Chains A and B, each alone.
Chain A
Amino acid sequence: MMVSETDWSKPQRQSRVVILIAILKMFKNMWPVIVLLLARFIFNKGTTTDKNLSHLLWGLSGAIILYFFIRLNDIARFFFYRFCITDQQLVIYSGAIVKKKTELPLSKIQAIHTQQTFLHRITNTCRLVIDTAGSEKAEMEIEALDIEVAKQFQQVLTTREIVYNEQQVNKTDDYIQPEQLMQLTAKDILKLCISENHLKTFLIIIGFLVGKMQDISEYLGFDSFGWMQQHSQAVNTTTQTVVFVFILGLLFSIILSCIKVVLRFYGFTIQLGQKHFVMKWGLLETRQKQIPFKKIQLLSWRSTFVRRLMRMYILRLHATAEDENKEDQMIQLPVTNLSQLKKITGYYQQVLPSQHFPFLTIQKQYIARGILLVGLPITLAFITGLYFAIGWYTLLTLLWLFYFIISTYLYRKNYKVWLSNEAIQIEKGVWGRENILVNFRNLQQVSIKTSPYKRKHQLADIELSTTGININIPFLRKEEAAFIIDFTLANIEFRREISQSVLREDYKVEK
């Protein structure tokens, strides 16, 4: 559908779909409460009087009306929320009673993301999120905008932002369409499905089911555990039955993991813009994210044991102001081979330190301290605690200690630290591997820590802080730790002085 050019200098409204979204959100948030209250009434019918029913209905109606008034703000938002683009600013007008005008300099815009839920798809709209530098959360969100209008808006903002920034250095380049860097094929998705951690999904499902059964018991006054015990006694439990149930559960987990992978990574593409990556993914909920190179603080990529064998990685771009604990904010890219990984990481750090430099490792005292301070106390606590419940079978806990010793040994053996003239790379893991790559320019603070034990053995830990996370490297030799600290500081503090001309071109690939 062709849409006429919008005059962005005049205030624009969001799509009317916002009202529909607000109403659906109300129902989405309210229906579990309504269902639970009604179910409680039905299950306790025998003991519930008319008075109780009347109280329940009044309470329910009151809660719905109160919630409706609270969420009325979302509907009002449509009528009072407008935005326009002036020469150098994005201006947002909002508020019904208290009028608010937000002015956002275009130069501060870091990224423009789009998201499409199922509702957005059927109404041909999308959600637009605009990120700015230094802010903890997204600066501006447009809940629904017609897709064509959103594309225009995104392009106008991107072009103006680039032009505005380039003008600062007396350059004027035209907007360049992003170039495709990577795309997941059906085979890649199949590999991702196979290599998912199905055992973890299985345990999550069990945890989820137990949690839900507790909820049912609590809300409905129905003893779900008792019911299950009663019915399980009726079934003739044999080893075969247990194995059958386990396999069935595992199969269900595999199917669920595969569905999760397909929903998440279907149609995954990475494009290369002028100064940013553009990523798209999702089957039911399509997302598009833009990450400017300068907003990337550090990179990490990890692979489980199976993925290591298949040479597959999940690459994570850690961006400024990203909440490390919120999975929906994380930018995770499935990478299906090493050359793709190097290609993408190359835009952050052209040469990986591990490619050219020898590595440092953590000292063997790490194993002894780990066993003494973590492994042994936990094992002893479990042996003592479980002795009263299962007698001498409690000694089986020693198997866990054995596993702990093996995994600590492997962790220390696999721990490698590489330093190049620009970046630091860490590789660690027991069965799988995790790599962390941080360019010195992204470090905010460095510190060195010691304890009496470490001082006695000439050891030290170092901590490198970025805007988002802290990277700890434990049990280094004291002189190695001092070297890393001095080297890192010199790279941060004397980059300009050492050789401005070289540094401007360092790692610049000349074809």
Chain B
Amino acid sequence: MEIKHLQLHWEDLPKAENVVFQPVEKNYLKIIYAEWLIFYATILIAAIAIFYFVKDIQTPVIIMSVAIVFVLLVSLTFFLANKAFAFKAYAIREKDVMSRSGWLFQKLQVIPIDKIQHCVVRTGPLEKKFDLASLKLFTAGQQSDITLSGLKAEQAEQLKEWIVSKQRNDG
């Protein structure tokens, strides 16, 4: 009984850590800020409403404490968003798409192009204003999709077309 075996050597393998990543568009940071601002503005309005209607909590100590926590939380969010933005990047190789995200907890995801089932370009109202778009790559897995945010709208479309044509050509 003979078993044939394919030999691969690590020295010959393309290395993911040698890839040069492409940062996302600078305007995307404004979108991140705007989204967080909307989120915190909603919380602020709700908090003001609660303070207005509930008399028992209208004491300087409680108001000051909540205000300090709120300011700290907003500052921390914007600090982390800024750091995460700086780290956020993507790379396209001949056979796969890579996405880098996080800051304290960093993650590098790689999807082989063969495994992409379909891709969708999404443009929200804020993204439209800055001529940006997101490209979502769907796989057959339930938890293995990747979203490349902060791309130029034209670039996202081109990338989508490239992936589709690559899949068509590679069969």
Contacts and interface: CB of A to CB of B under 8 A. Distances in A.
Interface of A: 134, 320, 350-351, 421-422, 443-452, 455, 465-468, 470, 482-483, 485-487, 489-494, 498-499, 502-503, 505-511
B10 to A, nearest CB: 6
Closest 3 CB pairs of A and B: A445-B144, A465-B144, A444-B141
Contact of A448 (B8, B10, B107, B143): B107
A445 B140 CA distance: 10
B6 A134 contact: no
B8 A498 contact: yes
A490 B13 contact: yes
B3 A445 contact: no
Given A465-B143, A489-B16, A421 B6 contact: yes
Interface stretch (B58-66, B108-116, B151-159): B108-116
B87 to A, nearest CB: 12
Contact of A465 (B1, B6, B8, B141): B141
Given A482-B16, A485-B16, A486-B15, A445 B6 contact: no
Nearest to A134: B140
Interface of A is mostly: mixed
Nearest to B95: A493
Given A447-B107, A447-B109, A503-B6, 18 more contacts: A134-B140, A351-B3, A445-B109, A445-B115, A445-B146, A448-B108, A449-B106, A467-B140, A468-B142, A483-B10, A486-B10, A486-B15, A487-B13, A489-B14, A493-B114, A506-B6, A507-B3, A509-B3
Contacts of B144: 444-445, 465, 470
Contacts of B8: 421, 487, 490-491, 498
Contact of A421 (B1, B5, B107, B109): B5
Interface of B: 1-8, 10, 13-17, 95-96, 104-115, 139-144, 146
Indicate the member of A482, A502, A505 with the most B CB atoms within 10 Å.
Answer: A482
A448 to B, nearest CB: 5
Contact of B96 (A351, A421, A489, A503): A489
Contact of B115 (A444, A447, A487, A494): A444
A470 B139 CA distance: 13
Contacts of A452: 104
Given A444-B115, A508-B4, A510-B1, A489 B110 contact: yes
Given A444-B139, A470-B143, A489-B112, A507 B5 contact: yes
Name the residue in A421, A444, A451 with the highest tally of chain B Cβ atoms < 10 Å from its Cβ.
A444
Contact of A486 (B13, B139, B143): B13
A396 to B, nearest CB: 36
17 contacts: A445-B110, A445-B139, A447-B108, A447-B110, A448-B16, A448-B107, A449-B107, A482-B15, A482-B17, A483-B10, A485-B16, A486-B15, A491-B8, A493-B112, A502-B6, A508-B3, A508-B4
